[in-house]
Amino acid sequence: MTQNNAFELNRRTVMKLGVGAAAAATAGVNLSSEKALANNPAKSQSPALGARLSRAEGPLKVSGQARYAIEQKLENMAYGVTVQSTRPAGRIVSIDTSAAKALPGVVDVYTPQNALKLNKPTVYSKGGGATEEFTPLQDDVIRFNGMHIALVVAETFEQAMEAASLLKVEYEAGDAIVDFNDPKAKSQPIDAMAAAWGDAATALANAEVKVDVTYTTSREYNVPMEPHACIASWDNGKMTVWEPSQWVGGARRVVSDWLGIDIEDVRVISPYVGGGFGSKIGAHPHVGLACAASRKLGRPVKVSLTRPQTFTGLGGRPATRQNLSIGATKEGKIVSIVHESWNETAIDELHVEACNNVTKIMYATPNLSSRLNVVPVHTVQPGWKRAPGENPSAYALECAIDELAYALEMDPITLRLANWADIDPSSKLPWTTRQLREAYAAGADAIGWWKRNPKPRSMREGRELIGFGMASGAYPMLRTASEAKIVFHVSGQIEVLSGGTDIGTGTYTILAQTAADVLGVPAETVAVRLGDTILPRSALAGGSQQANNLTGAVDRAAKNARAALLSLAATDPKSPLAASKVTELTLENGRVRPTRRPSGGISIADLLKAVGRNTLEVEGNTFAPGASEEMKNGADRSFAQMKASLEGGVSAHSWCAQFVEVRVDEDFGTIRVKRMVAAFDSGRIFNPKLAESQWIGGMIMGLGQTLLEEGHVDQRDGRTVNANFADYAVPVNADVPGVQVISVGIPDFQASALGGKGVGEIGVVGVAPAIGNAVFHATGKRVRSLPITLEKLA
């Protein structure tokens, strides 16, 4: 059979298995959703929850009225500037601060010889809230180029910057390992995260068709628009920190650890966050310096990292290497997957990029072996960047699956369907919902997958080679119980209170929609307060969990508030409805009325006035009955109460199918992405406009990862040489093509209280392999390292 005939047969097979199923599912999505909602105690979807509302805080941001953390104006504030090491290893012999201290306005200069006392914080893996143990100025050891070695504090930022430039540092050189390709680098296995079943090695050796490939990714940086910065203010034994944070409860715990004070004496405030993508989950070392300096000086201190300092003041996604072998029958059935990965970690800390997260669940195989390793190097401790683990895992796996499809002369979608996993292959648990077949069909139809010529380097327009590629992806459903509070005011205002933060995803908006949905009022009438540790406890905004965590908590609080309001109306002697039974009353359109009356009643404001109350405050939470305060604090300040994807004896994930069309200039090798289409199963969508924005943002980030982003390290001294926006390229408008996103999900009440699944992370998963596979289709050349640049295509 010729290759084209084989692809045509596979196309027809997929049309039968995939598109037909998708057509039926798509036609029945609304009906299926209504049935699922009707069979669940959650309130049926109304015009409030599920509406395409714009972000509530949007006008404040575009008009400059949204005051971010470091825009607070405090009296007598000093300004701190950190100084970073210019060596990758060794020790500090001395730092001459005399010239800096002689400058006008300089308050003090802190170094290991004149240190600010900081305790080592407890990291998340040991029950704390920190993402790194590194605590600056506590010793003279140099761990990486760019490490904080001094803090200059002055009356103005400009004075602090000038003084910082005058420090003279004497180093004692050390033997450095600057990246994991260094011959001196030694890998360490992470046995606890290995996965294995069957006899993968033997099955691979006996397989009829094999691919054996290595894929690598470069260091990547989160580079949010808002740099990392904070204001710390010590006052009468208490510390207040304004910090752009994805997790104020965790930051509060870390500040408490650093300063050795009771956590109740720490307040963290984060009203708005200008992007984080995982880098603002933990409070980083510069925050500790600001807090210690404020306590030492008895005045507020602002510390802002410069843009170059954000590349080493905290870590991004580490470089990775993955060896992946897949064995299959001639008919395309996978019989074995053998996988091993390596990622960089700090020289004296541990960060694991879980590169087998997707590998071990995506396809049915009787035999699998996956091992993870870390390689300590002299670098800042790596951190989380959007879809940590799943992103590089899907990159290697989905590129290798594409290679296997070409080796078998099968269509890539056909091959994936031939190895469909009816249950989670790793845990052997049933899926909650898995609308991945529908995603394949919807995405393929939207991009015109079946109209392409599948042969590599067969499509062109003038001097441009045209390529189509696709890939799958998954992201686990994480959950943490949280709290919320509803406040009815005598003015008529309704407030939602939560310590969770809005990192640009629309939390302000969807929480207003959730409360409005239960209380029967327009979403625009509900005000939301977020990002403050004095508000009800919330888990982090990370791992695609906050929307589901907080909508569940707000839904509970709003239902409790509705019941409390009706009870007040029926039982308070001063209420005009005091003669009624609670069961005879209804709350609708902001008014309490007898159910038998179609209109009339009393407004919430008038009811509170009548009974002599200024407010009615009602809480709700998603903790199990009888949960202790220790458990609730654990959810707020650590990962102790976080539930993983296998909670409840089922396997819960979001799913995606990514499709792209690329154009490659035949003469110059330049790559342009022409179209991007993706179909997502994220369960019930609380606000389609905001979900689509998140998906599109993730896809654009994936485009940058694939074609542009790469941290370059000087092999001589470990310096990140492109630590700026001029040299570390991220996508701009001209790089971004037309993007289409499609929701194929249905409500999943096994995954969350209101039926939603993760939205924020899944958008980036699968983009890199889809583009890489498209480049191969266009050019016939397989590039197995990111980013894909014209030099690699030469």
Which residues are known to be catalytic?
A: 761
> For residues 200 and 336, is the Cβ–Cβ distance under 8 A?
yes
* C-alpha separations of 122 from 250, 251, 256, 257, 291 in Å: 10, 11, 10, 7, 17
Spatial distance between the Cα atoms of 596 and 582, rounded to a whole number of angstroms: 13
Spatial neighbors of 73 by CB under 8 A, at least 6 apart, are: none
Spatial neighbors of 423 by CB under 8 A, at least 6 apart, are: 429, 430, 431, 651
Spatial distance between the Cα atoms of 706 and 753, rounded to a whole number of angstroms: 36
> For residues 502 and 466, is the Cβ–Cβ distance under 8 A?
no
HSE-CB of 352 using CA atoms within 13 angstroms: 18
Q: What are the counts of helices (DSSP H) followed by strands (DSSP E) for the chain?
A: 19, 28
Q: Token pair of 293, please?
A: 């300096």
> What's the angle, vertex CA 775, arms to CA 772 and CA 776, rounded to 5?
90
Spatial distance between the Cα atoms of 330 and 424, rounded to a whole number of angstroms: 24
Which residue's structure tokens are 């139809």?
Answer: 445
Spatial distance between the Cα atoms of 725 and 722, rounded to a whole number of angstroms: 8
* CA nearest to 443, candidates 698, 658, 673, 662: 658
Which residue's structure tokens are 């009440």?
Answer: 749
* C-alpha separations of 387 from 138, 202, 352, 441, 655 in Å: 33, 33, 13, 24, 13
> For residues 89 and 378, is the Cβ–Cβ distance under 8 A?
yes
Q: Would strands 78-84 and 301-304 be described as parallel, antiparallel, or unpaired? A: parallel
| Other C-beta atoms lying within 10 Å of the C-beta of residue 481 | 23
Q: What is the DSSP letter of 18?
A: I
Spatial distance between the Cα atoms of 431 and 310, rounded to a whole number of angstroms: 40
* CA nearest to 569, candidates 530, 521, 602, 536: 602
For every residue of 592-621, which 3-state class applies, written as one string?
Answer: EEECCCCCCCEEHHHHHHHHCCCEEEEEEE
Q: Would strands 229-235 and 209-217 be described as parallel, antiparallel, or unpaired? A: unpaired
Q: What is the DSSP letter of 120?
A: P
Spatial distance between the Cα atoms of 217 and 394, rounded to a whole number of angstroms: 12
Spatial distance between the Cα atoms of 178 and 175, rounded to a whole number of angstroms: 10
Spatial distance between the Cα atoms of 605 and 504, rounded to a whole number of angstroms: 32
HSE-CB of 304 using CA atoms within 13 angstroms: 17
> For residues 325 and 211, is the Cβ–Cβ distance under 8 A?
yes
Q: Token pair of 261, please?
A: 């004070």
> For residues 231 and 300, is the Cβ–Cβ distance under 8 A?
yes
> For residues 296 and 202, is the Cβ–Cβ distance under 8 A?
no
Q: What is the SS3 assignment for 340?
A: strand
Amino acid at 193: M
Bridge partners of 637, per DSSP, are none
